[in-house]
Each structure stands twice: as C-alpha cells, then as structure tokens.
Amino acid sequence: MLTVKHLPTTILALSTLTLPGWLQAATEGDASRGAEAAAVCTSCHQADGSGKHNEQGESWPQLAGLDAGYLAKQLRDYQSGRRQNATMKPFANMLSDQQIVDVAQFYSKMAPRPGQGGESASTEVLQRGRILAQRGDWSAYIVSCQSCHGPDNQGVGTVFPGIAGQHAGYIVAQLEAWQAGERTNDPQDLMGTIARRMNDDDIRAVAAWLANQPPAAELEEIQP
C-alpha cells in the first residue's frame, strides 16, 4: 500500500508549505462557536455535515471530517472569487475571518458518513474506478488519486482533502469543473491537468468507486 513516505517529492512539498496566518489559525478555531456560525450551512450540508447526493441535480459535499485548513482555504477562495459558486459565495461572504476558522474546526471534528451515489454502479465501472483511484492509468498519463490524496484517499495535510466517502455527484461536478477550467484553485493546476486527461466514463467510474469507500472515521472503527 502507498504510504506518505512514498508520495512524490513535489506533492509532499505542497502539503507542507508555510501557510498564511489565517490558514494556520484554522487549527486554533473554536468548534463550539463554529457550530453557531455553521447554522447557515445546514440547509445544504445538513446538520451532521454529511451533505447530499442528488442524481439529477446539484450534489452538496460532505464536510464532516475534512481537514480544517482545507475547509478554511475553500471558504476564503469563495470570498475572493478564486473559486466560483453562485450558491456558496454569499454564504461565505457572511462569515468573518474568525467565523471561517471556527466553522472549519467545527466540521473537521465531525464524524463523516458513508458516501452516496455509487451504490448502483456496475462491477465493471467500480473496477475501472478502483484502478484509477489506486493505480492510475499511465497509458493516458492519469496519476492515481491516492498519489496526492494519500493512502486510502483519506487526505494529506491542508492541501489534499480526503475524498473516500465523498458523494459521487460532487466528485463528478468538481472533476468536470477542473476539466473545463471553471475551477482553478488547486496548486500548480494538478487537478486540472489530471481531469483533462479523463473521459466522461473515467470521471463517473472513479466518483462511484470513491463514494463507496469508507471515510476515515469508519476505517478507525474497524482497525483491530
């Protein structure tokens, strides 16, 4: 199994960059204050942070268990316009600097739930998704997901979020956004480069497989 010490040097360097003060402060946020500020988030992301998968519409990501620094950065990117989403921007703009780190800390402490949207995928689709997530496809120069997102795709530091157990619809939407150049807030265009090498079937396959994988909390529970 791939371990952190085996990650490419560039990836490790990106995950250990000196972070701006507001991002470092995400680890100092107050989860109890964050619970109050996150009240505006529950209509989409649910009270337990589990989000929601919609087969025929927008899927809202699971936030529970994601790294606090990563969450704080995404909220900041929505505020600045570096990451675009018409629904998220007004909510992000409602939060002060302190509320951002508090909300990020609040969600990072929550236990993630199983992902949705991959339950009906065929064996063939899931097998293709597993190969892409774990090994990649070097014939198409597609790097595996876990090369950046770490063992079992549980995330590495504040740059690469855990994607195991994330909803399939949200993963598809983000890969398509990177593919189209509509999302560009990743370091060195790493995600954009990979997404542009994937076809529609690849995107849906890897999204279905990842949605079926246990999130970090479940892995901890089954450890002997």
Q: What is the C-alpha separation between 162 and 2, in angstroms, rounded?
A: 15
Neighbour tally for 124: CB within 10 Å = 9
Check the annotation: does 41 bind a ligand: yes
157 Rama sector, left if φ>0, alpha if ψ -120 to 50, beta otherwise: left
Name residue 156's amino acid: V
Residue 93's φ and ψ, nearest 5 degrees, are: -70, -15
Question: Using an 8 Å Cβ cutoff, are 158 and 15 in contact?
Answer: yes
Check the annotation: does 167 bind a ligand: no
Question: Using an 8 Å Cβ cutoff, are 149 and 155 in contact?
Answer: yes
Name residue 99's amino acid: Q
Check the annotation: does 88 bind a ligand: yes
Check the annotation: does 53 bind a ligand: no
Question: Using an 8 Å Cβ cutoff, are 177 and 120 in contact?
Answer: no
**Residue carrying the six token digits 């929550």:** 110
**Listed residue (211, 173, 215) closest to 195, CA to CA:** 173
Name residue 58's amino acid: E
Alpha-carbon Rg for the chain, nearest whole angstrom, is 17
* Residue list, annotated binding site: 41, 44-45, 88, 145, 148-149, 191
Known binding-site residue numbers for heme c: 41, 44-45, 88, 145, 148-149, 191
